[in-house]
Amino acid sequence: MKRIYLDYAATTPVHPDVLAAMLPYFTEKFGNPSAIHSYGQEVKGAVEDARARICDLIGCRPDELVFTSGGTESDNTALTGVIRAVAAQRRNHIITSAIEHHAVLETAEALEEQGCVVTVLPVAQDGILDPADVRAALTPQTAIISVMHANNEIGTIQPLAEISRIAREAGVVFHTDAVQTTGRIPVNVDELGVDLLSISSHKLYGPKGIGALYIRPGTPILPMIRGGAQERSWRAGTENVPGIIGFGKAAELAGKMMPAELPRLTALRDRLASGLVAAIPETYINGHPTQRLPNNVNIGVAYVEGEAILLNLDLMGIAASSGSACSSGSLDPSHVMLALACPPELARGSLRFTMGKDTTEEDVDRVLEVLPGIVKKLRAMSPIYKPAREGKS
Ligand SMILES: *Cc1c(COP(=O)(O)O)cnc(C)c1O
């Protein structure tokens, strides 16, 4: 049975060229980039080349990019680092949205326990945040606004340029989690107007455990990890050299693939979304129909558990997801679905298909072939489906 992977928002396979670029840095090119000798300096040069490739992808300068262990650390550093830097000015207010990744929401919650004030803004039913709500939430104590570029569950792309204008007028630091967008759609720190931007390598065909934080010069932020002077003291610790080399190669490839991949994935997305809605009664597209990632389809299937559908799909060789990887394992509806104000019976039946470079039209058609039967079977066993149908007729 051919296996079909449709969970590219959770992680992506390392591109073969990325792996090839990384391998020498585990063996003969093992030097510590902080060392003065040629072993170290050769590696240092390669690390800086990789940094430049990533900067090219997001439109920043090399001295503005700090390597981290991934998107989670970048998000933690952005919020906590800014709050610590402005504490002396008595600014302790954080504005964020209800559909952020846990890396942002849990960090905000931890800071709240330490005395910060956190405003979590709701989103509309289509998953879009209203910039006017951000403006209305500002106080003289607001230190940072953190709004993700695109949501990892429903793919919705937020109006960041508008929000950043509001942040700039108010003199408030603006952070975005761009983990889902970088490498998939154009991301430019100046066009978005952000001060801080989080990215992660393993969402764009690079290795896991490496990411970066873009820091606009002059942004008040303190480092989280102290020690040596690596990353100009922004982030101590001997560099994850193979990870950085792989991330750099992945960024270079992403820039090259994007012009062709963006329209190709958009067409696959729309084929899958419209096919599912047509083939399965009482199915709904979650999130905005067009303001969304080119590779994300999220559907609500009424009267069935998302997990039950996933297990049945997996038996057919199809790997999808319900909500985010971080919340599966619990049967509670995801915080993102709940924020869309959809009824819990729909939230539980939400399914996420995220596509990538190896996804084909045949893969999409295979889902369209098997999913209607799975849903029909599960609904026939569902204790809530039949009464609801009868109540309607
Ligand atoms: C995957 C993801 C993260 C976490 O990145 P890691 O590198 O896995 O720590 C953060 N934010 C979003 C939106 C993500 O999709």
Residue 393 has a pLDDT of 45
223 and 110, same domain (yes or no): yes
Q: Any idea which residue has 């975005």 for tokens?
A: 176
- CA-CA distance, 193 to 288, in Å (whole number)? 23
The total domain count for the chain is 2
- Distance, in Å, from the CA atom of 351 to the CA atom of 307, rounded to the nearest integer, reads 9
Rounded to two decimals, what is the model's pTM? 0.95
Last residue within a domain, chosen from 232, 253, 274: 253
Ligand 1 geometric centre to CA of 388 (Å): 38
The CATH number for 334's domain is 3.90.1150.10
Region 269-275: what's the mean pLDDT?
98
Rounded average pLDDT over 48-73? 98
Task: Indicate if 177 and 280 belong to the same structural domain.
Answer: no
Distance between Cα 209 and ligand 1 center (Å): 10
Same-domain status, 304 and 243: no
* Residue 60 appears among annotated catalytic residues: no
Atom 3 of ligand 1: nearest residue by CA position = 71
Evaluate: CB of 200 within 6 angstroms of ligand 1. yes
Pair 289, 340 in one domain: yes
Say which residues have a Cβ less than 8 Å from residue 160's Cβ, sequence separation at least 6.
Answer: 147, 149, 176, 192, 193, 194
Q: Which of 223, 253, 283 is the last residue of a domain?
A: 253
The mean per-residue pLDDT over the stretch 99-114 comes to: 98
Is the shortest distance between the CB of 70 and ligand 1 below 6 Å?
Answer: yes
Is the domain of 210 the same as that of 280? no
Q: Is the pLDDT of residue 384 over 60?
A: yes
Cβ atoms 182, 198 nearer than 8 A: no
Pocket test for ligand 1, best of 152, 179, 198 (most atoms within 8 A of CB): 179
- Indicate whether residue 199 lines ligand 1 (CB < 6 A): no
Q: Using a 6 Å cutoff on CB, does residue 71 contact ligand 1?
A: yes
Banded pLDDT at 325 (limits 50, 70, 90): very low
Distance 200 CA to ligand 1 centre (A): 6
Q: In the predicted model, what is the mean pLDDT of residues 37-44?
A: 97
Of 220, 233, 223, 168, nearest in space to 194 by CA: 168
pLDDT of 239: 98
The mean pLDDT value for 82-109 works out to 97
Helix axes 38-58, 241-279, angle to 10 degrees: 30
- Please give the residue range of the domain that contains residue 207: 16-253
Let me know how many helices (H) and strands (E) the chain has, helices first. Answer: 13, 12
State in Å: Cα 71 to ligand 1 middle.
5
Whether pLDDT at 347 is above 90: no
Distances (CA, A) of 262 to 4, 244, 267, 268, 273: 20, 25, 9, 10, 16
**Is the predicted pLDDT of residue 326 greater than 50, yes or no?**
no
The CATH number for 25's domain is 3.40.640.10
Q: What is the pLDDT of residue 392?
A: 54
Catalytic one among 60, 116, 326, 342? 326
Mean pLDDT of the chain: 94
Q: Are residues 240 and 337 in the same domain?
A: no
Q: How far apart are CA 119 and CA 134, in angstroms?
A: 9
Say whether both 283 and 186 belong to one domain: no
Q: Are 197 and 334 part of one and the same domain?
A: no
Same domain, 159 and 226: yes
Check if 323 has its Cβ closer than 6 Å to any atom of ligand 1: no
Span 332-343, average pLDDT: 82
Ranking 207-211, 291-295, 332-336 by mean pLDDT, the lowest is 332-336
How far apart, in whole angstroms, are the C-alpha atoms of residue 182 and residue 184? 5
- Burial of residue 124 (CB within 10 Å: 0-12, 13-18, 19+) is middle
